[in-house]
Amino acid sequence: MKTRLLPLLVVAAVFVLCQWAVQPSVSLDATSTVAVSLDSELPDVTAKVDAYFERMWARRELKPATAADELLLLRRLALSLMGTVPSLEEVRQFELDDQPKRIERWTQRYLSDQRFADYFAERLARCFVGVEGGQFIVFRRDRFVSWLSDQLAANEPYDNIVRQLISSKGLWTGEPQTNFITSAVANDDLDENKLAARSVRAFLGQSMDCAQCHDHPFNDKWQQGHFEGIAAQFGQAETGGLGVYDQTGKVYEVEDRVTLKTREVAPKVPFGSEWLPDEGTSRERFAHWITHRENRQFDSAIANRVWGLLFGRSFITPVDDMPKREEAEEDYEFLDLLGQDFRQHNHDLRRLITVIVSSKPFRQQSVFEPDDQSQPDVSYEEMITILDESWGLFPMTRLRPEQIIGSMLQASTIQTIDQNSHLFTRFRRFTGERDFVREYGDLGDKELVEHTGTIPQALLRMNSDMTRDAVKSDIFSACGRISNLCTTNEDVLDAAYLACLTRRPSPLEREHFLGLLGNHTDNRRNPVVEDIFWTLFNSPEFSWNH
C-alpha cells in the first residue's frame, strides 16, 4: 500500500510547489526569510566607493540615474553571479521575504550557492587557461574548472589560488591546478613564453606579448628583457610521467634573434625584486612575487576583472592590457580603494563582489529622465554617453551566449535548476547549453570585449529546437504549468513576465496580451501563453544585462 501511495505523494508535493510558485496569493512561511550573516564593516567601504563616484559626478556636473527596483537588482545579481535569470520559484521567495536588507541577504545567498562557484570558475578559467581543449593526455580543462569551482565554493583566498596555479606540482588529474602549467604544452614541449604572457595578463591585467620579440616602440612598460626574465621563471618546469615538477639547476636558454646564437636567461622580474623570497623553486618565488602584499597591480587587476564580470564591462579597458599607473591615476585610485579592502580582508573574492554590488553604480537604472539632468543643452544621446562613461548609470551590454540559453532554460521551468535538480534536468541544461553556444558562437577568452548580435544569432533564438522546447506547453514546462495552474489571465501574464524578465508587464503590455488571452481559462489559452513566452525570449530586453 505504501509503495502505491509514494508516487501519488510525490505528484501532490510537486503540484503544491508549482501552484505556490505560479500563484502570488499562496504564502509559504518556510521560504519567506533568507538567513545569512552580513559583514558589519561593509557600510564603511561602500561609503568610500560611493564617495568616489559622487565626487566624479559633482566635478562633471552630472546627476546619475535613479535607483533600480529590487526585482531588477535580483535579475542583475543572478545573471552576473550565476549566468541565468532567477527562477520563478526564487522570485516568489524573494517577494515573500519582507525582512530588512533583502538585496544584501540575497547577494550572500547567491554567493553561497554552488551555481555561483560553477559559473565564476568557468569565467575565471577563460583567462587562466583559455577555452581550448589542448593536448588531452597532459591537459584536462574539465578537471581544472571543477577544482577552481571547489576553491570558490570553499571561499579560498584568491592569492592562495593563484600561488597554487603557478607553483603546484603533481599529476594534472590528481592535482588539477597544475593544468595551468600543462595548458601551455604543445607537441610535448612546455611553452614558457605562453605561460609568461598568460600570467601577466591574468594576474596583473597587463599585456606584454609584444615584448616577446622586441622592445615596444611606443611604450616603455614592457621590454624584451622583462618578458624573457618572466619566461625564465618557468624555465625549470617539466612535465612527465609523474606530472608537473621542477628540474633544479636547469638553465633557461633562448635564441638571440640578432645573432641566432643561444644565450642563457636568468629568472628576473621587472619591478619589486625585493619581494622575491630567497628560497624555493623559481616558480614558487615568482608566485610569491605576483601575490605579494605590496604588489598593488595584482589586487587592482582582479578588482578590475571582477568589476567587468559584474557589469559586463571592466572599469579600465581592456581588462588584460591596463595602462601604466601614471597614465590613469584617477582610475587606479578607485581600483586601489577596492584592492586595499580586498587585501586587508584576506583576498576574499566574495567580499570584493559584495562591495561592488553594494555600490551606487551597480544599483542604478540603465536609463535616465532628461528633465532631471543638470545639463539641458546636451542631447539625450550625448547624455547617455557621458553618464555611461562616468558610471552614472548601469551599462547595457549584451548577454553572453551561455547566459542567454541558461536564462531560456531556467525560464522554461518553474523550479530552480541547480545542483539539487533531477539528473535529467541538469543533463538537459548541460547538453542544451553546450549545443546552443556551439551554434550561437562562443566569445572565447575575449569575454569582456564589446560584441554585437548577428542575424544568424537572432534566427537561432527564434527557430532553434531549444526555443521550441522551451515554449512547449506540457505538465513539466513553465508554459504548461502557468497556463493550467493560474486562476486568472492576469496571474498568467504576471507569472510569464516574472519567469522571463523578472518583472511584471507594463500597463500597455498587459492590455495587449490580456486581449490575446481573451476570456479563456482552460487549455485553450495554452498556445497564447506559448506565444507570450516566445515573444519575451526574443525581445531585446531578454538578451541584455540591464
- For residue 264, report the phi and psi dihedrals to the nearest 5 degrees: -80, 140
Predicted pLDDT of residue 376: 61
Predicted pLDDT of residue 209: 60
| CA–CA gap between residue 155 and residue 431 (Å, rounded) | 28
| CA–CA gap between residue 470 and residue 478 (Å, rounded) | 8
Predicted pLDDT of residue 463: 79
Predicted pLDDT of residue 133: 79
Predicted pLDDT of residue 480: 92
- For residue 480, report the phi and psi dihedrals to the nearest 5 degrees: -65, -45
Quick one: pLDDT band at residue 500, thresholds 50, 70, 90? very high
Predicted pLDDT of residue 30: 35
Q: Tell me which residue has cell 615568482.
A: 286
pLDDT in tens, 28-68: 333 444 455 566 678 899 999 999 999 999 999 899 999 99
Q: Tell me which residue has cell 536564462.
A: 407
Predicted pLDDT of residue 79: 96
> Stretch 332-339: mean pLDDT, rounded?
96
Predicted pLDDT of residue 202: 95
Taking Cα atoms as reference points, which of 70, 146, 131, 142 lies closest to residue 401? 131
| CA–CA gap between residue 314 and residue 320 (Å, rounded) | 10
pLDDT in tens, 377-405: 778 788 888 888 999 999 998 888 888 88
- Tell me if 466 sits within 8 A of 435, measured CB to CB: yes
Q: Is the pLDDT of residue 1 over 50?
A: no
Angle of CA points 355, 84, 304, to nearest 5°: 35
Quick one: pLDDT band at residue 10, thresholds 50, 70, 90? very low
pLDDT in tens, 200-209: 999 999 987 6
Predicted pLDDT of residue 458: 79
Quick one: pLDDT band at residue 16, thresholds 50, 70, 90? very low
User: 485 vs 13, 381, 503, 513, CA distance in Å?
Assistant: 14, 44, 20, 18
Written as one letter, the residue type at 61 is: E
| CA–CA gap between residue 158 and residue 433 (Å, rounded) | 28
Predicted pLDDT of residue 38: 63
Q: Is the pLDDT of residue 12 over 80?
A: no
pLDDT in tens, 259-317: 778 888 889 999 999 999 999 999 999 999 999 999 999 999 999 999 999 999 999 99
Predicted pLDDT of residue 179: 96
pLDDT in tens, 347-370: 999 999 999 999 999 999 998 877
Predicted pLDDT of residue 21: 60
| CA–CA gap between residue 362 and residue 64 (Å, rounded) | 12
Quick one: pLDDT band at residue 215, thresholds 50, 70, 90? low
| CA–CA gap between residue 129 and residue 144 (Å, rounded) | 9
- For residue 519, report the phi and psi dihedrals to the nearest 5 degrees: -105, 10
Cell numbers given for 382: 550625448
pLDDT in tens, 430-488: 777 777 777 777 766 667 777 667 777 778 788 777 788 888 888 888 999 999 899 99
Quick one: pLDDT band at residue 101, thresholds 50, 70, 90? very high
Residues in the chain: 546
pLDDT in tens, 110-128: 999 999 999 999 999 999 9
Sequence-distant contacts of 133-142: CB under 8 A, at least 24 apart: 134/182, 134/183, 134/185, 135/182, 135/185, 135/186, 138/172, 138/182, 138/185, 138/239, 139/172, 139/179, 139/182, 139/183, 139/185, 140/172, 140/173, 140/176, 140/179, 141/179, 141/183
| CA–CA gap between residue 427 and residue 81 (Å, rounded) | 21
pTM listed for this prediction: 0.90
DSSP 61-104: T--PPPBPPHHHHHHHHHHHHHSSPPPHHHHHHHHH--SSSHHH
